[in-house]
Amino acid sequence: MVAGERALGEVNLNMCYMRKNNAKHFFRDLRTRLDVIAVDDGLSLAGKFNESIDAINSFLKVVRDQVVAETFKDKLEEVYFFKFEKPAYVSLKIYHIAQFTLLKQKPAGTPELIRVYYLEELRFIARFFKRHAFHYEYFRSGFTELDELLFIRGVAVQSALIQDVTDIDPQFSTNCDYLFAKFMAYELLEEFILEELKQLDQQNASVIPMIGGKKWFDWTGEVINLVELGYGLYLSKQIGGGKAGLQEIFNWLEESFGVVIGIPANRFRELKRRKKLSRTYYTEFMRDCLLNYMDEDLDL
């Protein structure tokens, strides 16, 4: 029995307890199944992808059947489902397709080549968010003014307001639920790529190449913090009377710590894209460490 059939059978056993707005319980089960598939060393990349998509499709079919069979008690309930629940469910499918494509097309080559590939994917995601800037701001800010236009089935709106409607099932789609699902999926993909870049940095740091025999110490922190330090030194003009170039400073840091930082401009984009952390996280962390040390010294 394939994964999709198993998932569908497990969900059907619980159909009598399931209503369209309590699918969250089964959604958690689905995510657990996907986590198990992801770490199954017995499956190839394509095998993991096929099993994951089968399980997701089976779950979405059950959810759709329930939504079509039952009536929402009011507009608020319908808006909630199509604004939050369905996008979260569909985003998993979009994410797994995008992640599979990303990994399948990843070039075989040097770490810097792979880094360039990942950064280009980040730029694609950024362009997508920018192209849908109005709706993305609506998505992130939690606005509600247009909810009945965007998340009630059968509501007609001007084409200028809606630019990316792919799910045309009138019984199971609204003007904006699919776009919100893409926002969720691309944010997940963005996090995945940033984690891949972080691991790439750690792998490079663990090798610790000797460049010209000048390495003094090992850099044991994240390489992105060294990027922040390098830009801070360059922009504050603390080296060579401000005449030292950015690439010269980066070369010096690479030689001193035995790491490969990469192209400064590409690494700077990573700093600007930080969401969970402050864009100047390392600078602020050093400041806090210094202040704490000063305070402790005063207590002596």
pLDDT score at 177: 95
Q: Where are the domains of the chain?
A: 3-201, 210-299
pLDDT score at 74: 94
pLDDT score at 16: 38
Residues 197-209: pLDDT tens digits? 888 877 765 544 5
Nearest to 112 by CA among 286, 254, 295: 254
Buried b (16+ CB within 10 A) or exposed e, 58-93: bbbebbbebbeeeebeeeeebbbbbbebbbbbbbbb
pLDDT score at 164: 57
DSSP H or E stretch at residue 41: none
pLDDT score at 172: 93
Q: Which residues contact 147 (CB under 8 A, 6 or more apart)?
A: 79, 83
pLDDT score at 11: 46
Alpha helices in 39-146 (DSSP H): 45-69, 75-80, 86-104, 111-131, 133-141
pLDDT score at 156: 81
For the entire predicted model, the pTM comes to: 0.66
pLDDT score at 102: 96
Q: Which residues of the chain have pLDDT under 70?
A: 1-22, 158-167, 204-216, 276, 297-300
pLDDT score at 208: 46
- Distance in angstroms (rounded) separating the CA atoms of residues 254 and 248: 10
Residues 36-65: pLDDT tens digits? 999 999 999 999 999 999 999 999 999 999
pLDDT score at 159: 59
Nearest to 92 by CA among 65, 67, 59: 59
pLDDT score at 250: 85
